[in-house]
Chain A
């Protein structure tokens, strides 16, 4: 399920029932860190094995299957949003579920009062509310509305995706609580590394 204030962007998004199976078999190979995410609730798979003993005891083992990381992306430029959406669906489909596409900081804050996400990829230079201002609002639970941002979302890792990537700007992003900064145009290996590092922090902090 994905929400967006720019509905046309996701018409090209690809989903496949095979992606879940791929997540199980490929996760550790593609991304050791991403495979260790243990979200609060995950679908559990039961494996029954029968032992041929006199008691005919049946042992059931429950295996926790890691779910995909729920991601929100935010950018006021429709071209950039479309590229990032497609990139995530093409190159990160085994570990990431794109659940929200927003074209403004305000719409993002509103959505964060309703749905939980695990990761936010945020543009910086946006009108009305910049990426820095939006991040500050998230951390301070200021949704600019009558509703509060969901508690889990207040601490969600936020990665800046921007052309404004000078060192002093990166330092500002860190100060307001962003986990990392990925330069545009996006290099997939760098995005992957940034996501891994950000999610590693979540795993470490519990």
Chain B
């Protein structure tokens, strides 16, 4: 379940993992043990990725024994986001600005519900750009400006989503 995405620079998550690999115990390495460097959610600078007030409220809705509910919800969000990004690509090919705005608003809602701050903010910008407005949604912009801004934003949004996805996958792996 991986969205097709344009080439992009390494995410924060990948950088964190690479840093850990760089400090791997040489003695262990010399023994030839193929030990995967352990990464947990604390290795992420998650201050901007997750709004913990919102996410913790979600975790509180889990049963005490496990995170089955929130995990299934998050995985549902992953599927939804991947599909929505594909729909955004299709809409971008056709320069269907109203559809791009609608898709931005759609994903904004579920991103906000999970506390995915950066993704939510980018979705809101897409909503405005699709309406031919600047980021705050007040001043009008031309179709050419909107197209340029949206193309750049879609790349950024996927990167932010990948950061959030990596964080959440590690979070739930830590929980197992």
Contact = CB atoms under 8 A, between A and B. Distances in A.
Interface range, A side: 20 to 34
B113 to A, nearest CB: 5
B37 interface: no
Nearest to A185: B54
A82 B76 contact: yes
Interface in A74-131: 75-80, 82-83, 86-87, 90, 123, 125, 127
Contacts of B73: 79, 82-83
Contacts of A75: 109
A62 to B, nearest CB: 38
A86 B69 contact: yes
Q: Which of A82, A127, A186 has the most CB of B within 10 A?
A: A82
Interface range, B side: 20 to 34
B123 to A, nearest CB: 9
Contacts, number: 53
Interface string B103-123: 001101110111100000000
A53 interface: no
A163 interface: yes
Contacts of A77: 80, 106, 109-110
Contacts of B124: 163
Chain B binding surface SS class: helix
B112 A184 contact: yes
The 7 closest A-B CB pairs, nearest first, are A79-B110, A185-B54, A86-B61, A77-B109, A185-B113, A185-B112, A79-B77
B80 A127 contact: no
Contacts of B112: 163, 184-185
Given A83-B113, A163-B112, 11 more contacts: A77-B110, A79-B76, A80-B110, A83-B73, A86-B61, A86-B69, A127-B102, A163-B105, A163-B108, A163-B109, A184-B109
B34 to A, nearest CB: 37
B18 interface: no
Given A79-B76, A79-B80, A12 B109 contact: no
